[in-house]
């Protein structure tokens, strides 16, 4: 057993794709947190009744073929979607007009982590928008199965890394999203989890400013997507809880897991 496994605790934090693989190896209930913007986009899409199929980056011919196979729309990059008026990772591009529509959503961080951890007992998508709702769902599954819970803040990736460098760049927004969820989970918490909760408590009174001014928030604002940053910084405004079933996200229904 790895010394880094936080194994004596029921609630844990692991970062990025490697952390998702660790959670999958342990068979933990897993919550993927990618606030800007995969998780917020998935939650916002399900809130209006859309169907989301995750697919790891890049946006290429394999992704197109997968979308065609599902008779779904392949969600474009933000820049391309802005030109065409179609959907993107931007959560505000989804509306009530998308009820019943199918989308394939590629993402370097959130979708990739989802694929890596897809075989866990329950895989949820969490963010600030649905923090309390997703924690309640995870607590319910934990009671039913006895499995531990790992939250995976996805983080970002450095560009142009050297061969001997780790490309993971921890994202403040994902850490705060994870802390918001962790504070609602039941069971013993690792030191890593407790500190994550503490970060959210510290930032909570000024959360909009923290998300607005963090590196990922500034990047999106400078690219013209300030509305995404504002939208994704709201806490507990959605009750939808995306859970992965048969390759797609559906809204968690407690009665289905009694």
pLDDT digits (tens, 9 = 90+) for 11-34: 999 999 999 999 999 999 999 999
Q: Is residue 210 part of a domain?
A: yes
The CATH number covering residue 111 comes to 3.90.1560.10
What's the token pair of residue 179?
């802390």
Q: Is residue 5 part of a domain?
A: no
Burial of 136 (0-12, 13-18, 19+ CB in 10 A): middle
pLDDT digits (tens, 9 = 90+) for 185-243: 999 999 999 999 999 999 999 999 999 999 999 999 999 999 999 999 999 999 999 99
How far is CA 214 from each of CA 35, 43, 47, 182, 220, rounded to the nearest angstrom? 12, 22, 26, 21, 10
DSSP state of 127: -
How far is CA 194 from each of CA 23, 30, 36, 127, 175, rounded to the nearest angstrom? 18, 17, 23, 18, 12
Taking the C-alpha atoms of residue 222 and residue 17, their distance in angstroms, rounded to an integer, is: 27
DSSP state of 1: -
Section 155-176 average pLDDT = 92
Q: Which of 75, 90, 173, 192 is nearest to 131 (CA)?
A: 173
Is the previous residue joined to 37 through a cis bond, with omega within 30 degrees of 0?
Answer: yes
Q: Is residue 2 part of a domain?
A: no
Q: Is residue 1 part of a domain?
A: no
User: What DSSP assignment string belongs to 5-20?
Assistant: S-TT-SEEE--HHHHH
- pTM (predicted TM-score): 0.96
pLDDT at position 158 over 60:
yes
pLDDT given at position 258: 65
Q: Is residue 133 part of a domain?
A: yes
Structural domain boundaries, residue 16: 11-257
pLDDT given at position 82: 79
Q: Is residue 54 part of a domain?
A: yes
Burial of 241 (0-12, 13-18, 19+ CB in 10 A): buried
pLDDT at position 151 over 60:
yes
Q: How many domains does the chain have?
A: 1
Q: Is residue 192 part of a domain?
A: yes
């Amino acid at each position: 057993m790895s010394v880094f496994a936080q194994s004596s605790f029921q609630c844990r934090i692991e970062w990025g794709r490697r952390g998702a693989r660790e959670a999958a190896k342990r068979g933990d209930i897993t919550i993927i947190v990618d606030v800007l913007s995969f998780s917020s986009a998935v939650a916002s899409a399900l809130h209006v009744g859309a169907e989301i199929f995750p697919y790891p980056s890049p946006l290429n011919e394999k992704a197109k073929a997968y979308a065609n196979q599902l008779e779904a729309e392949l969600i474009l990059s933000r820049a391309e979607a802005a030109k065409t008026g179609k959907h993107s990772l931007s959560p505000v591009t989804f509306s009530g007009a998308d009820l019943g529509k199918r989308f394939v959503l590629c993402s370097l961080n959130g979708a990739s982590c989802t694929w890596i951890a897809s075989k866990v007992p329950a895989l949820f998508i969490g963010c600030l928008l649905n923090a309390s709702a997703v924690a309640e769902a995870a607590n319910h599954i934990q009671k039913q199965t006895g499995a531990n819970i790992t939250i995976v803040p996805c983080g970002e990736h450095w560009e142009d890394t050297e061969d001997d460098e780790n490309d993971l760049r921890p994202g403040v927004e994902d850490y705060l999203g994870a802390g918001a969820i962790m504070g609602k989970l039941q069971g013993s918490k690792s030191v890593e989890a407790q500190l994550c909760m503490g970060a959210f408590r510290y930032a909570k009174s000024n959360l909009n400013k923290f998300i607005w001014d963090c590196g990922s928030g500034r990047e999106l604002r400078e690219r013209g997507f300030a509305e995404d940053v504002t939208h994704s910084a709201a806490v507990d405004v959605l009750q939808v809880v995306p859970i992965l079933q048969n390759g797609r996200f559906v809204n968690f229904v407690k009665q289905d897991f009694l």
